Structure 1
Amino acid sequence: MKKSIFKTLAKMNKKLLPNYTKQELDLRKATKMQKAIIGWKLWVTKNSLD
């Protein structure tokens, strides 16, 4: 059940949140909000794959 929730969250993240890889964002110049979004997406993706 936990895994299915994270898979759903990952799909929502993909549709709703910006993709910084395509924008070629430099992590050293990222704002705190951008870093928080990257961290959130990483955490959700990690938990959906386990």
Structure 2
Amino acid sequence: MKKRFFKFLAKVNKKILPSFTKKGVDLAKASKLQMAIFGYKLWVTKNLLD
């Protein structure tokens, strides 16, 4: 159940949230909002792989 939920979240994130690696955003110079989005996407990915 948990894995299905995070798989769904990952698909939604891919469609809605921006990809910072494709845009070439330097994480050292990223804004707080960009860092929050990056952290959220990382958290979803980590939980999906567990």
Percentage identity across paired residues of the two chains? 66
Q: TM-score, normalised by structure 2?
A: 0.96
Q: Residue 32 of structure 2 corresponds to which residue in structure 1?
A: 32
**Distance across 2 between alignment mates of 1:48 and 1:11:** 11
Q: How far did residue 49 of structure 1 move? A: 1.2
Q: Which runs of 5+ in 1 are unaligned?
A: none
- Give the alignment's Cα RMSD to 1 decimal: 0.5
Instruction: Read off the aligned partner of 1:41 and give its amino acid letter.
Output: K
Distance (whole Å) between structure 2 residues aligned to residue 34 and residue 11 of structure 1? 19
Look up the equivalent residue of 1:39 and give its one-letter code: G
Q: 2:8 is matched with which residue? A: 8
Question: Where has structure 1 moved over 3 Å in runs of 4 or more?
Answer: none
Q: Which amino acid aligns with 2:13?
A: N
Structure 2 gap segments, 5+ residues each: none
Q: What's the TM-score once normalised by structure 1's chain length?
A: 0.96
